[in-house]
Structure 1
Amino acid sequence: MKIKNPVPKLAFLLAITASSLAHAQSNASQQTLYTRSLAATCANCHGTDGRAVQGSAVISLAGMDRSYLATQLKAFKSGARPATVMHQISKGYSDAQIETLADYFAAQKK
């Protein structure tokens, strides 16, 4: 009776699993990089990760309610909320990008 060697099959399955995990991790890191690059566009006024400098007239975005933030960005974009520069900046974002920004800043600690 001949016994088959399970090592090649196991090695193949491990390679496929590792490849799938690496691909998933790559996609996650690409999304993270994309989100952080969007958030970086807000840093000039609202501070790194949405934490404005203390005493600044500009509000901090970190920890803000995500739905409130998304609503306000969309109001700037449509012109429903008056602004000095936010209406110009927000027009550059798609609704999906606004949702991404709202999720990101809501998740940041104050």
Structure 2
Amino acid sequence: MKRVMRMLGAITGVIAPALAMAASPPGAASCLGCHTVNGGDNPVPPIGALEAEQIVSAMQAFRTGARPATVMDRVAKGFSDEEIKAIAQWYASAKPK
């Protein structure tokens, strides 16, 4: 029974984010390569815990080099201001309740 419950949990953990991504703005799914929405065992900050303004500000700082990064500086350069705002608003609405 424990094995079945673990398997169901693993399946839910894969399917639920995929279904949620179906309604996301273009590019939002790429964030989940490193970030989680609501935390977990991940050293990368959960993106769903941030306000939209925090995400926009961070992405702009990564893009200009004002905020040091190993990967996010290159990621941020791939999005327009409008795309960043749409993604930020979408993730901010995914906050843990």
After TM superposition, the score normalised by the length of structure 1 is 0.62
Contact in 2 for aligned 1:51/1:61 (Cα 8 Å)? yes
SS state of the match for residue 34, structure 2?
A: helix
Identity %: 32
1:56 pairs with one of 42, 56, 60: 42
Specify the structure having the higher radius of gyration (Cα): 1
Deviation >2 Å, runs of 4+: none
Cα distance, 1:68 vs. partner? 1.2
Cα distance, 1:69 vs. partner? 1.1
Question: Matches of residues 14-93 of structure 1 in structure 2 within 5 Å?
Answer: 33=23, 35=25, 37-47=26-36, 50-52=37-39, 54-93=40-79
SS state of the match for residue 100, structure 1?
A: helix
- Count matched residues: 75
Instruction: Kindly report the root-mean-square deviation, in angstroms, between the aligned alpha carbons of the 2 structures.
Output: 1.7
Question: Which residue of the partner structure matches residue 16 of structure 1?
Answer: none
Structure scoring higher RCO (CA < 8 A, sep ≥ 6) equals: 2
SS state of the match for residue 62, structure 1?
A: helix
2:84 pairs with one of 98, 101, 108: 98
User: Which consecutive residues of structure 1, in runs of 5 or more, have no partner in the other structure?
Assistant: 1-31
User: Structure 1 or 2: larger helix share?
Assistant: 1
User: Which consecutive residues of structure 2, in runs of 5 or more, have no partner in the other structure?
Assistant: 1-21
